[in-house]
Amino acid sequence: MSAPAKTDPGNFFEDFALGQELVHATPRTVTVGDVATYTALTGSRFAVTSADPFAAAIGLRQAPIDPLLAFHIVFGKTVPDISLNAVANLGYAEGRFLAPVYPGDTVSARSAVTGLKQNSNGKTGTVYVRSVGTNQRGETVIDYARWVMVAKRDTDAPAPEATVPELSDHVGPDALSVPDDFNLSGYDFAAAGSPLDWDDYAPGERIDHVAGMTIEEAEHAMATRLYQNTARVHFDAVFTKDSRFGRRLIYGGHIISLARALSFNGLANAFWIAAINGGRHVAPTFAGNTIYAWSEVLESWPVAGRDNVGALRLRTVATRDKPCTDFPDRGADGKYDAAVVLDFDYTVLMPRRHN
């Protein structure tokens, strides 16, 4: 009997099976050091995740970590098992943030394969998964679906029966989770940085977030290591030298975080991300690119049973090396402006005081 391999090359498309359960390695105890590092890498300024007294005033025991930091930590755990041999991460859906994560909490992750479809070229296939992050008490903190194009190890391996799960295009208002701890009667608009509340935003309006942020080579690699994301395309210059782009790619989640951080100017009171409805990494980004962002309000919902909080469904578009004063978008032909790198659909919670 041969000894098991000492190293793991990751799963290729033919290694996945419908219904397969994957328990991901390395539970992670989150610390205030992680929070400080995330702030240093993104510049996020949202008060609820920055200040314990602010968080306590709205009912939380301390400042929780940024929901996107929680998302990236869970996502990073899935990479060795799901997307180490990925060609591209294709999309997200039905993402829900179900409970705050605090420094000191330990986050674990698992995934289930919900769909498989080999591509016509016979060299790759799309793998659909649902990933769940839990804390040390077994409580689900995040639950989301994603799909990723994965290379085949053996192009002659038989294709599985194509199965594509049905996924909603957004998380409806009735499915949003508003933590019971949230008591917004103590919300400090001055400390949060804006006098605008949920009632001041209307579907259809667009907001240019004005500032840009240039990405340094060391920053994007450090951000990806922070999440323990092992994808070689983000780290290994030798590996990527002969790739399509000839250089390391920036983890798409880092662009999501930068766009969210930039959105503070215009959406400072969008204090909590409740859902990820969908997202598309339209084009790659590289060190040296400067990221700008603009947002559109897609829908506005009151939250059932709560008169002090409302929900906004937002679409945030990020661009590289082009300010968003004219809102770079898709043209009449459906093609994106050449500067667009991210099109992200998500739902935030905002305080209400004009009810």
Say what the pLDDT of residue 277 is.
97
Say what the pLDDT of residue 260 is.
98
* pLDDT at 97 > cutoff 70: yes
Number of domains in the chain: 1
Mean of pLDDT over the chain = 94
* pLDDT at 72 > cutoff 70: yes
Q: Is residue 273 part of a domain?
A: yes
Q: Is residue 2 part of a domain?
A: no
Q: What is the mean pLDDT of residues 35-49?
A: 97
Q: Is residue 211 part of a domain?
A: yes
Say what the pLDDT of residue 233 is.
85
Tens digits of residue pLDDT in 187-223: 999 999 999 999 999 999 999 999 999 999 999 999 9
3-state secondary structure the chain: CCCCCCCCCCCCHHHCCCCCEEECCCCEECCHHHHHHHHHHHCCCCHHHCCHHHHHHCCCCCCCCCHHHHHHHHHHHHHHHHCCCEEEEEEEEEEEECCCCCCCCEEEEEEEEEEEEECCCCCEEEEEEEEEEECCCCCEEEEEEEEEEEECCCCCCCCCCCECCCCCCCCCHHHCCCCCCCCHHHCCHHHHCCCCCHHHCCCCCEEECCCCEECCHHHHHHHHHHCCCCCHHHCCHHHHHCCCCCCCCCCHHHHHHHHHHHCHHHHCCCCEEEEEEEEEECCCCCCCCEEEEEEEEEEEEEECCEEEEEEEEEEEEEEECCCCCCCCCECCCCCECCCEEEEEEEEEEEECCCC
Q: Is residue 96 part of a domain?
A: yes
Q: What's the domain range around 42?
A: 13-153+168-351
pLDDT tier at 355, thresholds 50, 70, 90: low
Percent of the chain residues topping a pLDDT of 90? 81
Q: Is residue 161 part of a domain?
A: no
Say what the pLDDT of residue 4 is.
75
Q: What is the mean pLDDT of residues 231-248?
A: 86
CATH number at residue 88: 3.10.129.10
Say what the pLDDT of residue 127 is.
97
Say what the pLDDT of residue 210 is.
97
* pLDDT at 354 > cutoff 70: no
Say what the pLDDT of residue 242 is.
83
Tens digits of residue pLDDT in 304-349: 888 889 999 999 999 999 999 999 999 999 999 999 999 999 999 9
Q: Is residue 8 part of a domain?
A: no
Q: What is the mean pLDDT of residues 256-272?
A: 97
Tens digits of residue pLDDT in 144-191: 999 999 999 989 899 999 999 999 999 999 999 888 778 888 899 999
pLDDT tier at 5, thresholds 50, 70, 90: confident
pTM listed for this prediction: 0.95
Q: Is residue 159 part of a domain?
A: no
Q: What is the mean pLDDT of residues 96-123?
A: 96
Q: Is residue 1 part of a domain?
A: no
* pLDDT at 241 > cutoff 90: no
